[in-house]
């Protein structure tokens, strides 16, 4: 071969072009090799060398922390490329699963002006911030008293007076019956505020006609009217309420897109930017949704076990020797189902019988279970995935369907060994009066949700869905324990490198 000299000194990280004969390797532990001989059609060419003294990833073991600083090169390692291949197939399996079942893939918006489920801190999207080097006096600010942003006007509850009073009365009556004080007084206040605002409105109108006084600089507010979307806008924390509109119009649907949380946490389990899958089933009840969630997880894991056999084998050897057994325990086993009430009773019983020494937080009915409880249930009690359902309504979202017991809602969490909560879902409250009741109790402004409420006003139907953090699924399928290693370019608090 003419150019063997050129290529024989090339080091790891180099790129070649080679033409030859692919044969089964006679060497043990090496499946095949490319024979580049002196035949005319055969050749090997060095396309790009990698200077051995400078290449950041020479052939040795690197820590995952170090690899994160080389996010542009780390997919050249066996570990990170295997993660990428599994991630790819989990994504494709997701689409295959839902498409085969007739679900429509819907792109819900990333930028939203509504804090849809109050799921946490949001990142603001703006063109109003002065760039680096520019003073704040260059920002668009409200100059005079009486100028108003849309959002600020919206700060007063916008439900109708009559409706608020009716709800307040009902809540007060119920509270009296239960012997509890009126819950946060939200509904009772709402009516009053609207009343006051109405009384004040004409006076305010007249004042505006005169030239209002200038506001001192330090008291000025951002003029959101001049922002890109003319009002405060945020990155979506969930596509659920948006995808529900399509579910109520077209039937079974799902989302698969990025979601965001401005959580100031620096842990191995949280990202500021992550991908979520949110299916929504039309004409469905809680158990239909749970069936779908279980089938989906099984389908995805089976798909990668069949299509990423080598990668799974590698993870099982190098990352987590219990991986394959744990995966089979999910794909081949019936999922346990248990109500929240029974699950709490079980935890209490295990404590009493000293099967478990102690929990950091003692379990009791009404507690928002912590990771320790969830993992204990999945890992020690049931030794496999378990779906807990019918949770107390107090710490769950406003849109979940209320049970007749008056205490619980039709929510479920799927708990799996090694991960804890993998999926959260619910039947949605399709009855408008019940929905409003919970929204008001949770201090939400009905008017802000006018279009969500419309779904219950016009042709409402029982439906439900769930959400799965895609990175959790990748962690589960690979055994990788740090979420920063299962997404190509992780973003979290203080980190948006590359």
Query: Among 252-260, 330-338, 418-426, 437-445, which window interacts with a copy of itself (CB under 8 A)?
Result: 252-260
What is the distance between the alpha carbons of residues 314 and 331, in angstroms, rounded to a whole number?
19
Binders of a copy of itself among residues 302 to 331 (CB under 8 A) are none
CB of residue 387 to a copy of itself, shortest distance in Å? 25
State both tokens at 484.
């920063």
22 near a copy of itself (CB under 8 A): no
197 near a copy of itself (CB under 8 A): no
Binders of a copy of itself among residues 163 to 192 (CB under 8 A) are none
Let me know: does 381 contact 353? Beta carbons within 8 Å. no
Enumerate residues 6+ apart whose C-beta is below 8 A from 310: none
Query: Among 190-198, 256-264, 291-299, 353-361, which window interacts with a copy of itself (CB under 8 A)?
Result: 256-264
Binders of a copy of itself among residues 421 to 480 (CB under 8 A) are 430, 451-452, 454-462
Task: List residues bridging with 424 in a β-sheet.
Answer: 413, 467
Query: Among 20-28, 42-50, 185-193, 330-338, which window interacts with a copy of itself (CB under 8 A)?
Result: 42-50
What is the distance between the alpha carbons of residues 90 and 18, in angstroms, rounded to a whole number?
32
Let me know: does 95 contact 253? Beta carbons within 8 Å. no
What is the distance between the alpha carbons of residues 245 and 251, in angstroms, rounded to a whole number?
10
Distances in Å between the Cα of 399 and the Cα atoms of 126, 164, 213, 295 are 29, 19, 44, 24
Task: List residues bridging with 408 in a β-sheet.
Answer: 392
- Contact residue for a copy of itself among 42, 62, 64, 95 (CB under 8 A): 95
CB of residue 445 to a copy of itself, shortest distance in Å? 14
Let me know: does 229 contact 112? Beta carbons within 8 Å. no
Distances in Å between the Cα of 347 and the Cα atoms of 84, 351, 358, 374 are 38, 6, 10, 10
CB of residue 191 to a copy of itself, shortest distance in Å? 22
Binders of a copy of itself among residues 65 to 94 (CB under 8 A) are 71-76, 81, 84-85, 87-88, 91-92
Query: Among 125-133, 326-334, 384-392, 477-485, which window interacts with a copy of itself (CB under 8 A)?
Result: 125-133
State both tokens at 115.
């804090």
113 near a copy of itself (CB under 8 A): yes
491 near a copy of itself (CB under 8 A): yes
Query: Among 29-37, 127-135, 355-363, 368-376, which window interacts with a copy of itself (CB under 8 A)?
Result: 127-135
CB of residue 140 to a copy of itself, shortest distance in Å? 11
């Amino acid at each position: 071969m003419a150019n063997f000299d050129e290529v024989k000194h090339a080091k790891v990280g180099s790129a070649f072009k080679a033409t030859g004969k692919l044969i089964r390797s006679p060497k043990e532990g090496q499946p095949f090799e490319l024979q580049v001989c002196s035949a005319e059609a055969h050749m090997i060419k060095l396309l790009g060398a990698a200077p051995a003294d400078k290449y950041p990833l020479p052939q040795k073991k690197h820590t995952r922390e170090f690899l994160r600083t080389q996010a542009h090169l780390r997919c050249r390692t066996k570990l990170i490329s295997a993660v990428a291949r599994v991630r790819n197939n989990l994504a494709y399996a997701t689409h295959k699963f839902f498409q085969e079942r007739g679900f429509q893939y819907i792109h819900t918006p990333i930028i939203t002006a509504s804090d849809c489920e109050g799921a946490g801190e949001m990142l603001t999207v703006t063109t109003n911030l002065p760039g680096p080097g520019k003073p704040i006096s260059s920002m668009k600010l409200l100059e005079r008293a009486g100028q108003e942003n849309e959002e600020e006007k919206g700060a007063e509850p916008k439900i109708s007076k009559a409706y608020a009073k009716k709800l307040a009365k009902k809540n007060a009556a119920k509270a009296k019956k239960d012997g509890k004080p009126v819950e946060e007084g939200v509904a009772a206040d709402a009516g009053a505020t609207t009343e006051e605002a109405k009384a004040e409105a004409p006076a305010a109108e007249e004042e505006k006609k005169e030239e209002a006084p200038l506001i001192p600089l330090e008291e000025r507010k951002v003029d959101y009217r001049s922002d890109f979307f003319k009002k405060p806008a945020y990155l979506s924390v969930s596509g659920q309420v948006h995808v529900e509109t399509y579910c109520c119009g077209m039937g079974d649907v799902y989302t698969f897109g990025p979601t965001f949380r401005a959580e100031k946490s620096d842990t191995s389990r949280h990202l500021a930017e992550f991908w979520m899958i949110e299916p929504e089933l039309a004409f469905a009840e809680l158990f239909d949704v749970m069936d779908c969630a279980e089938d989906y997880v099984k389908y995805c894991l089976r798909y990668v076990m069949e299509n990423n056999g080598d990668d799974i084998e590698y993870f099982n050897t190098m990352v987590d020797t219990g991986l394959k057994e744990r995966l089979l325990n999910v794909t081949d086993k019936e999922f346990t189902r248990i109500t929240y009430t029974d699950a709490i009773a079980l935890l209490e019983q295990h404590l009493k019988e000293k099967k478990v020494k102690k929990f950091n937080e003692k379990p009791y009915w009404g507690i928002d279970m912590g990771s320790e409880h969830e993992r204990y249930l999945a890992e020690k009690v049931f030794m496999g995935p378990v779906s807990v359902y019918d949770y107390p309504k107090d710490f769950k979202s406003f849109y979940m369907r209320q049970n007749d017991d008056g205490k619980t809602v039709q929510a479920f969490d799927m708990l799996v060994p090694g991960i804890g909560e993998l999926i959260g879902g619910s039947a949605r409250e399709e009855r408008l009066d019940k929905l409003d009741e919970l929204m008001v109790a949770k201090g939400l402004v009905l008017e802000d949700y006018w279009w969500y409420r419309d779904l219950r006003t016009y042709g409402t139907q029982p439906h439900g869905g769930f959400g799965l953090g895609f990175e959790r699924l990748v962690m589960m399928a690979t055994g990788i324990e740090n979420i920063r290693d299962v997404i190509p370019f992780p973003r979290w608090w203080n980190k948006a490198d590359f």
